[in-house]
Amino acid sequence: MPRDLTPWRGKRDTSVPPKKPDVDAAPAPQDATLPEPAQPAPAPAENAPALTDVGPKRKHSGLTETIAVSGARTKVTPPWADLLKPPTTPPASKEALLNDPLPAELPFENLLKDKLLLAAPRLGIPGRACPALGGIVLVKKIGQGGMGAVYLGFHPRLQTQVAIKVLPFLIAERRPEMIARFEREARLAALVRSPHLVQVMDLNQEEGLHYLVMEFVAGCSAENYLDLVRENGAKGLAEKDTLRIAIAATKGLAAAHAAGIVHRDVKPPNILLPQEAGVTPRFDEAKLADLGLARGAPSGAAEAGTPKLTNSIDTMGTPGLMAPEQAFDIKKAGPAADVFSMAATLYMLLTGWAPFTGETNLQILTATAQKPHIPIRDQRADLKPGTVEVIERGLQKEPSARYPDGAALLEALQKLG
């Protein structure tokens, strides 16, 4: 006889315990099986966010997305996560550092949040974790430019300071030709040996970061020193100091030209002056840095035709300090273009201004190509005639009217010294 499934509406009599089911009894017919009672939903955890069934909902949190669908929460990794993924600490490198102490006087900065170094491995040292490349601890950022940033590094095995130039990974990913340009800089610089050129020590890549290890010059740039002098009320550097800097830097330039290399970005920030704290820089030991725009010298003269001026500064040099022909076609800029830039650098160190100025890069380039500069004698009446002559000849718009290369300019400068 089938069971009565009518709901009980009266008071249930609990005085008689319910009869235990007979385990040997035959199973009830299929149509008489009672449905399983619905289980109550578990109580939400305290402070848990409410989830609804109205479509998928995404919540971004750094490297993952939390997706809520029909009450279920799932974490997925978006395709761009690898670009931001924090690196892990290589145990072997950490162990190596523990055996190689670091000097207590290193000026550490917190570089763990430096966007350029997010992918760099971390090395553990007592009291801190530091980004590192090739086992070299990165201490602080000392420069930033279009081709990346430069960091002070410490080589724990060699117990020496170095400079590391890092190419941004987004540039390397989106513009592969920049990697070739970056590597070319290293190889060109390694070809030349001179005490007046910053030496390249290594070229490598790690975790997608391409980097260059270079000699570290403790001191300041010629631009930094000019700023300090102007803050003290002077218009520019003393003539004698300027010539000492120019002779030393031109020695490096002449060595590059002898190796068939054109620098293409000679300027005060790229002239480094060795200096100890509280002491005047050693001008006679100045070094020419950053061959980032360097290339082999062109084999012939510029071809005939009408040049087209451009205001793209990405691969050209520095407006106001670079030669007119370099603005037209950088590939045809020869050693005489570096002579122009060195003369413009002397002009700037003596006066505080570049010889050609304007409100935009295009205006500056146009002035460089078409307008005369203010004669340096009008800016500094105290200069010797020989100094004025060297600078004015170096700033001629026609390459053939200048000194042909760094060696010829160096000879003229040394006669002044």
3-state helix, strand, coil in the chain (%, to 5): 35, 20, 45
Q: Phi and psi of 174, rounded to 5°? A: -90, -25
Cβ count near 97 (within 10 Å): 19
- Contacts of residue 137, defined as CB under 8 A and 6 or more positions apart, other chains included, come to 97, 102, 123, 125, 130, 153, 154, 156
Q: Which token pair is 319?
A: 């407006």
- Establish whether 338 is a catalytic residue: no
Considering 82, 100, 265, 329, which one is annotated as catalytic? 265
Cβ count near 344 (within 10 Å): 26
Task: Tell me the C-alpha to C-alpha distance, in Å, between residue 64 and each of 13, 87, 209.
Answer: 57, 16, 23
Residue 200's identity, in one-letter code, is V
Contact between residue 322 and residue 368 where contact means Cβ atoms under 8 Å apart: yes
377: Cα separation from own chain's centroid: 39
Residue with tokens 């800097």: 245
HSE on the CB side for 240, CA within 13 Å? 1
* b/e sequence 283-307, b meaning 16+ C-beta within 10 Å: bebbbbbbbbbbbebeeeeeeeeee
The catalytic residue positions are: 265
